[in-house]
């Protein structure tokens, strides 16, 4: 998937060892998924040299590709299984969705900025998705992801990559029995990452996982520029 020459493999191995494993990411499937995705394909050309830095990077339009460690915390908390179907709200560069596609059967992504979605499509195609090459099938849509993707629901897992002022009820509704969602909640510098679980009987439990910092989840119609 990364082509015959994978020049940045050593940088990626360092990222996984130093930023993820050393900081407590223990799920081997999650670590392997990060090793499989060339992060340099998801950043703007000018930032390729910085692709494996330990922080978020600017992807244009005031948005960022999340810090690898934060993506890992979220994916590990989702306890993804190979048969799962996952929804990501806030596709951005497509990086988190690419990593998630190695952990699930099928992934769905919604992004509200058309230019970012177009770039994400290119990035995902360059690493072999949608279709062949990746572990799971990838489906993308332009829209306000705070309403989820009703036609494709329910989902075993929902990854929300932008911070809501509250947990959107539509997303909880679209969680399958035993489904999990991770979502940053709060405004500005006061955000908490929440894990929401639906038990087999259908009731929901919400557990805070710690402070985070994400761009806002914008509940307005998508922008076509």
Interface with ligand SAH includes 101 (CB under 6 A)? Answer: no
Nearer to ligand SAH among residue 195 and residue 215 (C-beta): 215
Residue 66 designated active-site = yes
Least separation in angstroms between residue 140's CB and ligand SAH is 11
Pick from 37, 72, 75, 110 the residue near ligand SAH by CB under 6 A.
110
Interface with ligand SAH includes 174 (CB under 6 A)? Answer: no
Beta bridge partners of 28: none
Instruction: Write down the H helix ranges in 127-200.
Output: 169-173
Pick from 20, 74, 183, 217 the residue near ligand SAH by CB under 6 A.
217
Interface with ligand SAH includes 66 (CB under 6 A)? Answer: yes
Helix (H, G, I), strand (E, B), or coil: what is residue 180?
A: strand
Cα(56)–Cα(64) distance, integer angstroms: 6
CA angle 179, 180, 186 (to 5 degrees): 140
Cα-Cα end-to-end distance for the chain = 31
Least separation in angstroms between residue 219's CB and ligand SAH is 6
CB 193 within 8 A of CB 212: yes
Residues that bind ligand SAH (CB under 6 A): 63-66, 89-90, 92-93, 95-96, 110-113, 116, 144-146, 161-162, 215, 217-219
List active site positions. 66
């Amino acid at each position: 998937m990364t082509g015959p020459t994978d020049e940045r493999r050593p940088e990626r191995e360092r990222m996984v060892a130093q930023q993820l494993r050393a900081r407590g990411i223990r799920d081997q499937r999650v670590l392997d998924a990060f090793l499989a995705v060339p992060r340099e394909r998801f950043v703007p050309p000018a930032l390729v040299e910085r692709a494996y830095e330990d922080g978020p990077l600017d992807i244009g339009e005031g948005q960022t590709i999340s810090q690898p460690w934060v993506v890992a915390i979220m994916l590990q908390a989702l306890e993804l299984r190979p048969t799962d179907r996952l929804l990501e709200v806030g596709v951005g560069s497509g990086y988190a969705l690419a990593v998630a596609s190695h952990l699930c059967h099928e992934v769905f992504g919604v992004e509200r900025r058309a230019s970012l979605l177009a770039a994400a499509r290119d990035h995902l195609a360059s690493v072999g998705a949608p279709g062949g090459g990746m572990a799971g099938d990838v489906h993308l849509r332009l829209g306000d992801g705070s309403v989820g993707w009703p036609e494709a629901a329910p989902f075993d897992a929902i990854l929300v990559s932008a911070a809501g002022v509250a947990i959107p009820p539509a997303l909880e509704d679209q969680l399958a029995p035993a489904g999990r969602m991770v979502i940053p909640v709060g405004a500005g510098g006061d955000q908490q990452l929440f894990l929401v679980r639906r038990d087999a009987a259908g009731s929901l439990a919400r557990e805070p996982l710690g402070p985070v910092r994400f761009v806002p989840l914008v509940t307005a119609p998508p922008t076509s520029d």
